Amino acid sequence: MSDAPKPETGRPKARAPRGFVDRRAAALAAERRILEAVSRVYESYGFEALETGAFEYADALGKFLPDADRPNEGVFALRDDDEEWMALRYDLTAPLARFVAQNWEGLPKPFRRYAWGKVWRNEKPGPGRWREFVQCDADTVGSARPEADAEIIAMAVEGFAAAGLARDAYVLKINNRKLLNGLLTAAGVAAEGQKLAVLRAVDKLDRLGLEGVKLLLGAGRKDESGAFTRGAELQTDAIDAVLAFVSAGQGGRAATLDRLANVIGGSAEADEGLAELAGVSAGLAAFGIGEDQALFEPSVVRGLEYYTGAVFEAELLGETTDEAGEPTRFGSIGGGGRYDDLVARFTGERVPATGFSFGVSRLAAALAASGRADVAEARGPVVVIAFDQARMADYVAVAAELRAAGLAAEVYLGGSGMRAQMKYADRRLSPAAVILGEDEIAAGRVTVKDLDLGRQLAAGVADNKAWREDRPGQVTAARADLVATVRAIVGRGR
Amino acid sequence: MSDAPKPETGRPKARAPRGFVDRRAAALAAERRILEAVSRVYESYGFEALETGAFEYADALGKFLPDADRPNEGVFALRDDDEEWMALRYDLTAPLARFVAQNWEGLPKPFRRYAWGKVWRNEKPGPGRWREFVQCDADTVGSARPEADAEIIAMAVEGFAAAGLARDAYVLKINNRKLLNGLLTAAGVAAEGQKLAVLRAVDKLDRLGLEGVKLLLGAGRKDESGAFTRGAELQTDAIDAVLAFVSAGQGGRAATLDRLANVIGGSAEADEGLAELAGVSAGLAAFGIGEDQALFEPSVVRGLEYYTGAVFEAELLGETTDEAGEPTRFGSIGGGGRYDDLVARFTGERVPATGFSFGVSRLAAALAASGRADVAEARGPVVVIAFDQARMADYVAVAAELRAAGLAAEVYLGGSGMRAQMKYADRRLSPAAVILGEDEIAAGRVTVKDLDLGRQLAAGVADNKAWREDRPGQVTAARADLVATVRAIVGRGR
């Protein structure tokens, strides 16, 4: 059944498959906060929830996986018992296109849906590159209006804010595929290979700057390691046009459009792209999206075969530090655009569509690294110490009383003694332990131990002498005052 | 890539794979309400969230899929590019066992986790039988105490209540695998095939009654269709013992235990099982779980190779009606038990564990059918009618104002006229439409249309004559009173 080498015991080795990750409470809480916040924004804009299955027929997914040349490449595919190939979805847009094509007649139009869920990519795993991750999308299907694009961008902006991302921590870059096509026409680039080389060079503006792009448009570029990338071998005036195009993104949206018109205006496709962006700009103004939040950036390329009009890319600005204190760039935390051909694959009829996808894991990582996320550690419950099997009903009653008062609580149910139980509570990051020994029970009292204080003392945060006067490490109170006593201690530790 | 017959156009057919379902807003909202309610209960008991990947190595999943004899049978498996077999998880317990074995040293003990997520079964799909569904589990790993079982049951009871299930709508049946083994000893059943036949007969008490079980324990039984099932061919006194065993479940937990001791007491395993159940009973009393909510039912069998001690089964009582008004039984809406061997597969060391799994889809269906779920239809947003492209900024401002006041709202972004827009809002189940024509804009006013009233009139629920006096179908108000006007209309429609 498996060719994996097994330990000599003959027992399987306990390990997760490559590229799949186990996630515990703190990571999950951060992700759920994002999904809930963004879902609320989507719903407030009138988008309805939709969930499709994990599998699609492979022919329904088609060749739309970015950067994959062969069918089934990059996806997890298997043959069903009726011999049809199925594959796990690699994004949420391809299943949406299938759903819309299948149910077109019965859907309200435009059809506006949001969705979140796992997607899978059968790629080589690496640090931070998982083969399973969460996407969270909103799409409007059946509207060609530029306001639909503007609305999608407005929701992205509001979603980032709701998730806790600072307004100046990122920027949303907008471009239009038709401008790029207009540029290729204006620069006289006709051969497919040369087109691709030009677009790849444009796409690298962010990383290589104008000088690097210029080399890639001309004879080619040698990188720091000495590796040489062949250039697009454009003529000088064509190179100048491309450089003027990629430099047009400074300043406000209207100014960018003016500069772009000077470089590429005149061809039908370029003019169409410019008109669409002008419509998006007016829409953004209506939705109250500032020029500093969503700007036109002609160098944004994104998935080449996929988008047909406007494209969006949300990028983190500046550097943050990772857990080891090293500076790190997260780059893209979301993106999308207009893809008017996706439903036509099934129906033959072009249906205008536009959408945005949040990179939830990256956003969570960015929030955590920026220190802005309210990434509370996953706090454990109040732990009721178990001394005596015969008193179990008393311990259970204490825990139930705390839960009824809204405090998470459990009775320790392992087989170890007092010391191990306190260690257990500490490891769970519990705020308090409740001690109900024979003495307490006989006296109708209860002892509550402040575990946060213990952790602060151990970490040198609290002062050993001061706390004995101001903040006792434990309190013994009447059993009737259990909830108030625990609340006082839990409250001050947070 | 696919052998599926394509339409003559050469385009793929838009369809979801067999056994996978698309779910829209109302179904998702019902499911999310259950998951949130149950998660809150789990967290209040001190269980931490855990999420593992969709895939496990096939050898890690092992042969624990109920009712599957061959490896990979019943699961979706594929070979990774390093030649190892991976399979999609078929439940949340096998991945937990792998996680615990992998991380044992660093985990708090007992390790208490809850999890929810999709699981996949590669089975023949049928009506109501999906190949992908949601489970929601809590497990305690590392506690052999009967209170751990009692706590799991208490959380199940509290979880059902939090999800909205009436206390008298279901019952939680508890048994212990060791009692069944004790029964086989007491009845003198030693051959494996005969054991299985006896347990299968016991398992059918619910469906066939005592008479049917008696036939299956003896010579065999012919069903209504005339098909004959061979019996276990027990002697008369053995049959009597089994029937006394399965009949012992009436009345309270203590009475059941007494009756069971009379039938099977004496063998080491039976006595161990009886002692464990006595401990669970005391624990249940401490947790405040009544005899009518969780009872001992000796006929409960569940997955034969899986459980090692206590087993739990939550069953809906009575019949409900489905969407077509037909009476329907949902049966099991959750279950679990003690499985002390699962981690040992990896480590060689037995680790006591117990858990419960909610059947979320079935529970949602049961709540919907019983009419007790607050299954609100998925209400659409307030729709702002779009008359004129030049006025789009005004429409957008209206929608933004409504959203800021906490009302979901959108501007219609399709290309159709007034009539189609009203139909769109109706199809979305929107409570109101906002009309901002040239007249309204010139007069600084706004018209709000009550769409719920329209629906009630169409359905004959509201009286045409009465509403004209008491409840106008639309209101024109000052633009400044937009929010208050919409609120008044949205509020009365609900």
Give the model's pLDDT for residue A322: 56
Q: Which of B132, B183, B146, B427 is nearest to B284 (CA)?
A: B146
CB atoms within 10 A of CB A160: 27
In angstroms, the CA B181 to CA B308 distance is 10
Give the model's pLDDT for residue A3: 43
- Asked if A347's CB is within 8 angstroms of B11's CB, the reply is yes
Give the model's pLDDT for residue A39: 96
Mean pLDDT of A4-28: 83
Residue of A nearest to B98 (CA): A14
Contacts of A52 (CB under 8 A, 6+ apart): A89, A92, A95, A96, A98, A99, A115, B16, B20, B22, B23
Helix (H, G, I), strand (E, B) or coil at B488: helix
- Asked if A6's CB is within 8 angstroms of B59's CB, the reply is yes
Mean pLDDT of A202-226: 91
CB A114 within 8 A of CB A136: yes
Contacts of A346 (CB under 8 A, 6+ apart): A60, A97, A98, A101, A102, B11, B12, B13, B14
> pLDDT band for position B128 (50/70/90)?
confident
Residue B11 Cα distances to A63, A84, A345, B7, angstroms:
13, 16, 6, 6
Q: How far does CA A451 lie from the centroid of its chain? A: 34
Q: Which of A288, A147, A356 is nearest to B410 (CA)?
A: A147
| B50 in contact with chain A, both atoms CB, cutoff 8 A | yes
Higher pLDDT, B127 or B316: B316
> pLDDT band for position B69 (50/70/90)?
very low
- Asked if A140's CB is within 8 angstroms of B16's CB, the reply is no
Higher pLDDT, B68 or A393: A393
Long-range CB pairs of A450-459, under 8 A, 24+ apart, other chains included: A450/A474, A450/A475, A450/A489, A450/A492, A450/A493, A451/A425, A451/A426, A451/A493, A452/A489, A452/A492, A452/A493, A452/A494, A453/A493, A454/A426, A455/A426
Mean pLDDT of B54-64: 83
Lowest mean pLDDT among A279-283, B105-109, B471-475: B471-475
Dihedral angle of Cα B455, B456, B459, B461, to the nearest 10 degrees: 180
CB A313 within 8 A of CB A298: no
Region class of B217: left (phi > 0), else alpha (psi between -120 and 50), else beta: alpha
> pLDDT band for position A266 (50/70/90)?
confident
Relative to beta strand B382-384, strand B353-359 is unpaired
In angstroms, the CA B408 to CA B487 distance is 11
Give the model's pLDDT for residue A324: 61
In angstroms, the CA A155 to CA A356 distance is 9
CB B25 within 8 A of CB A111: no
* Confidence check: pLDDT of A71 > 50: no
Q: Residue B129 phi/psi, 5° resolution?
A: -105, 100
Give the model's pLDDT for residue A288: 94
* Confidence check: pLDDT of A5 > 60: no
Which of B286, B346, B413 is facing A12, going by the closest CB pair? Answer: B346
Residue A245 Cα distances to A180, A187, A231, A275, angstroms:
9, 10, 18, 17
Give the model's pLDDT for residue B372: 54
Beta bridge partners of A152: none
CB B110 within 8 A of CB B140: yes
| B419 in contact with chain A, both atoms CB, cutoff 8 A | no
Give the model's pLDDT for residue B159: 97
> pLDDT band for position B362 (50/70/90)?
confident
* Digit-coded pLDDT (tens) for B265-290: 888 999 999 999 999 999 999 999 99
Q: Which of residues 287-316 of A touch B (CB under 8 A)?
A: 287-288
Q: Which of residues 263-292 of A touch B (CB under 8 A)?
A: 282-283, 285-288
**Per-residue tokens: B439:** 């007249």
Give the model's pLDDT for residue B466: 67
Give the model's pLDDT for residue B390: 92
Contacts of A5 (CB under 8 A, 6+ apart): none
Q: Residue A435 phi/psi, 5° resolution?
A: -115, 125
> pLDDT band for position B370 (50/70/90)?
confident
Give B-chain residues touching A89 at CB under 8 angstroms: none
Give the model's pLDDT for residue B462: 75
Beta bridge partners of A312: A174, A336
User: Terminal CA-to-CA distance of chain B, rounded, Å?
Assistant: 50
Contacts of A271 (CB under 8 A, 6+ apart): A182, A265
Q: Which residue has the tokens 């005391």?
A: B282
- Asked if A346's CB is within 8 angstroms of B98's CB, the reply is no
Lowest mean pLDDT among A333-347, A368-382, B126-140: A368-382
> pLDDT band for position B72 (50/70/90)?
low
CB A79 within 8 A of CB A112: no
Residue B137: is it exposed, middle or buried by C-beta count within 10 angstroms (0-12/13-18/19+)? buried
Q: Is the dihedral of CA A89, A93, A96, A100 positive or negative?
A: negative
Q: SS3 letters for A154-219?
A: HHHHHHHHHHCCCHHHEEEEEEEHHHHHHHHHHCCCCCHHHHHHHHHHHHCHHHHHHHHHHHHHCC
Residue of B nearest to A148 (CA): B413
Which of B142, B287, B424 is facing A414, going by the closest CB pair? Answer: B142
In angstroms, the CA A305 to CA A307 distance is 6
> Mean pLDDT for chain A?
89
* Digit-coded pLDDT (tens) for B168-187: 899 999 999 999 999 999 88
Task: Specify the DSSP class assigned to residue A129.
Answer: B
* Confidence check: pLDDT of A69 > 70: no
| B80 in contact with chain A, both atoms CB, cutoff 8 A | yes
Helix (H, G, I), strand (E, B) or coil at B222: strand
Task: Specify the DSSP class assigned to residue A116.
Answer: E
In angstroms, the CA A210 to CA B416 distance is 46
In angstroms, the CA B78 to CA A79 distance is 9
* Digit-coded pLDDT (tens) for A29-41: 999 999 999 999 9
**Per-residue tokens: B202:** 């016991």
CB A452 within 8 A of CB A431: yes
Give the model's pLDDT for residue B67: 47
Percent of chain A topping pLDDT 70: 90
Mean pLDDT of A168-190: 92
Mean pLDDT of B187-191: 89
Q: What is the DSSP string of B401-431?
A: HHHHTT--EEE--SS--HHHHHHHHHHTT-S
| A466 in contact with chain B, both atoms CB, cutoff 8 A | no
List strands edge to edge, sheet with B55-57. Answer: B55-57, B85-88, B77-79
Gyration radius (Cα) of chain B, Å:
29
In angstroms, the CA A126 to CA A18 distance is 9
| A25 in contact with chain B, both atoms CB, cutoff 8 A | yes
CB B274 within 8 A of CB B261: yes
> pLDDT band for position B361 (50/70/90)?
confident
Task: Specify the DSSP class assigned to residue B13.
Answer: P
Give B-chain residues touching A338 at CB under 8 angstroms: none
CB atoms within 10 A of CB B382: 26
| A211 in contact with chain B, both atoms CB, cutoff 8 A | no
Give the model's pLDDT for residue A304: 64
Give A-chain residues touching B143 at CB under 8 angstroms: 413-415
Give the model's pLDDT for residue A128: 74
In angstroms, the CA B122 to CA B90 distance is 9
ipTM, 2 decimals?
0.89
Task: Tell me how many residue pairs between chain A and chain B have CB atoms under 8 A apart.
Answer: 301
* Digit-coded pLDDT (tens) for B394-452: 999 999 999 999 999 999 999 999 999 999 999 999 999 999 999 999 999 999 999 99
Mutation test of the interface with chain A: which of B57, B340, B407, B419, choosing the one with the most A Cβ atoms within 10 A? B57
Q: How far does CA A324 lie from the centroid of its chain? A: 21
CB A6 within 8 A of CB B346: no
Contacts of A483 (CB under 8 A, 6+ apart): A401, A402, A405, A407
Q: Which of residues 351-410 of A touch B (CB under 8 A)?
A: 378, 380-381, 383, 392-393, 396-397, 399-400, 403, 408-410
H helices, E strands: number in chain B: 18, 21
Give the model's pLDDT for residue B310: 95
Give the model's pLDDT for residue A176: 95
Beta bridge partners of B120: B132
Percent of chain B topping pLDDT 70: 90
* Digit-coded pLDDT (tens) for B318-353: 765 555 666 555 688 999 999 988 899 899 999 999
In angstroms, the CA B162 to CA B417 distance is 46
* Amino acid identity, position A278: A
